[in-house]
């Protein structure tokens, strides 16, 4: 039994939800999102909010139950509050800056990395060593943050590279004489 799937999804203030078969459309102050759920779950709207239930007792239906509820919950959070990932840059001479609609990153390569910002995502650099990726789609925000981090992942000896602000980098001891 899914413990996540059992809970109804409350509708935040100023958020409208429309259910059309297996398609859920959510509209809020930050924008509009929709998701099409699998046929293994049924979705309905009640006084408590949106309820997701499995169609039958098969393993696949029970597996998709919690995931489907989480997808709808992410839509609600996205259109009401939005999502944000914060990245830190560590290393001498490593920095990032906005250049028009692109992010320019200097991370010890022979050239500057110019990352074009995708549609629906906003990136800001409050400090040269900090990047904040924000948007209303959780998957897109995480994907963009992962692509930026991939240019120079943190290394375990000196800790240089691009890391998430809440990431712990296990440090190794260097060679001994």
CA distance 66 to 82: 21
Q: What's the CA gap between 161 and 167, in Å, rounded?
A: 12
Average confidence score pLDDT of the chain: 92
Say yes or no to pLDDT of 26 above 90: yes
Flag whether pLDDT at 97 surpasses 80.
yes
Stretch (H or E) spanning 143: helix 138-150
Token pair of 114 as six digits? 């110019």
With 80 as the cut, is the pLDDT of residue 45 above it?
Answer: yes
The domains located in the chain, with CATH, are 3-80 (3.90.930.12), 83-164 (3.90.930.12)
Indicate the pLDDT class of residue 12, thresholds 50, 70 and 90.
confident
Q: pLDDT (tens digit, 9 = 90+) per residue, 139-158?
A: 999 999 999 999 999 999 99
**At a CB cut-off of 8 Å and minimum separation 6, what does 154 contact?**
90, 160, 161, 162, 163, 167, 169
Mean pLDDT of 80-102: 93
Q: Is the pLDDT of residue 1 over 70?
A: no
């Amino acid at each position: 039994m899914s413990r996540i799937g059992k809970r109804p999804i409350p509708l935040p203030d100023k958020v409208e939800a429309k259910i059309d078969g297996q398609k859920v459309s959510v509209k809020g102050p930050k924008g509009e999102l929709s998701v099409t759920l699998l046929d293994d779950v049924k979705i309905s709207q009640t006084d408590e909010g949106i309820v997701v239930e499995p169609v039958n007792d098969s393993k696949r239906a029970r597996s998709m139950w919690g995931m489907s509820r989480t997808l709808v919950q992410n839509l609600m959070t996205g259109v009401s509050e939005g999502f944000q990932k914060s990245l830190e840059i560590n290393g001498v001479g490593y920095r990032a800056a906005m250049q028009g609609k692109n992010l320019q990153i200097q991370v010890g390569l022979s050239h500057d990395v110019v990352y074009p910002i995708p549609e629906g995502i906003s990136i800001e650099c409050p400090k040269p060593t900090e990047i904040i990726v924000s948007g209303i789609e959780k998957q897109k925000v995480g994907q963009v943050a992962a692509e930026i981090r991939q240019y120079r992942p943190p290394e375990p000896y000196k800790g240089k590279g691009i890391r998430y602000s809440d990431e712990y980098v296990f440090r190794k001891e260097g060679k001994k004489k």
